[in-house]
């Protein structure tokens, strides 16, 4: 069962107060409309009834997908003791547990895990695209606005490197990524029960630390 609460919110633009509905829990299978609103980001979008300005409100949210066996926790705070106990139970039930710090990461993570793709592999593929993009002088690293997972089709992963309103697609065979991960499998191990945050910073830290040890 999904759950939400109504909270008083002060408009950051006009300073007037009004009620917004904030979701704590979304159950994707039981509420497919809420699942769609998570993918689009609409669930976080609100409009001030006084000055009509639209803005995003990001509150902690637990997203459960039972058929695909994953739980995503949208939160800027790391896991606490209470959640850790629950996480250990879910981990034993083979749920993939992830924490996301931003709405952008959250919506992308749902798509990756619904596709049944290893998100560690996706972050590695995105990192490889970043290196290829900058090494081949296709653009400056500071011009990159985002690197996005698109989909996997016929064993090929599509990643889009965006620079402002332009984008460049990279097609990467999944078998190639699997081979790359196998070469260094220990490096990519994660502690599932800690709701790890598998994102761009995570992979950068991983390579920075392993370079430091070498
Ligand atoms: Zn307002």
Q: How far is the CA of 42 from the centre of ligand 1 (A)?
A: 18
Lowest mean pLDDT among 28-42, 78-92, 144-158: 78-92
pTM: 0.93
Q: How far is the CA of 117 from the centre of ligand 1 (A)?
A: 41
Average pLDDT for 145-166: 94
Q: How far is the CA of 159 from the centre of ligand 1 (A)?
A: 38
Element of type H or E holding 154:
none
Q: How far is the CA of 54 from the centre of ligand 1 (A)?
A: 9
Q: Which residues of 93-108 are buried (b: 16+ CB within 10 A; e: fewer)?
A: eebbbbbbeebebbbb
Assess contact for 149 and 109: CB atoms under 8 A: no
Q: How far is the CA of 106 from the centre of ligand 1 (A)?
A: 26
Q: How far is the CA of 46 from the centre of ligand 1 (A)?
A: 10
Average pLDDT for 87-100: 96
Q: What is the pLDDT of residues 113-134, one digit of tens each?
A: 999 999 999 999 999 999 999 9
How many whole angstroms separate alpha carbon 175 and alpha carbon 125?
Answer: 12
Q: How far is the CA of 206 from the centre of ligand 1 (A)?
A: 42
Assess contact for 148 and 162: CB atoms under 8 A: yes
Q: Where are the domains of the chain?
A: 3-114, 119-186
């Amino acid at each position: 069962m999904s759950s939400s609460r109504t909270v008083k919110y002060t408009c950051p633009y006009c300073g007037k107060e009004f009620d917004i509905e904030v979701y704590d829990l979304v159950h994707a299978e039981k509420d497919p409309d809420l699942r769609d609103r998570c993918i689009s980001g609409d669930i976080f979008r609100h409009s001030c009834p006084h000055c009509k300005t639209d803005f995003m409100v990001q509150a902690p949210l637990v997203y459960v997908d039972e058929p695909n066996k994953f739980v995503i926790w949208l939160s800027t705070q790391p896991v606490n003791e209470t959640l850790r106990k629950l996480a250990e139970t879910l981990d034993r039930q083979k749920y993939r547990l992830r924490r996301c710090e931003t709405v952008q990461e959250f919506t992308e993570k749902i798509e990756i895990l619904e596709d049944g793709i290893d998100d560690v592999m996706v972050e590695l593929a995105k990192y490889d695209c970043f290196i290829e993009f900058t090494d081949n002088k296709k653009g400056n690293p500071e011009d990159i606005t985002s690197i996005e997972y698109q989909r996997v089709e016929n064993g090929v992963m599509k990643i889009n490197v965006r620079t402002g309103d332009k984008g460049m697609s990279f097609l990467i065979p999944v078998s190639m990524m699997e081979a790359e991960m196998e070469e260094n499998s220990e490096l990519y191990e994660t502690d599932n029960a800690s709701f790890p945050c598998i994102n761009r910073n995570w992979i950068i830290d991983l390579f920075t630390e392993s370079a430091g040890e070498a």
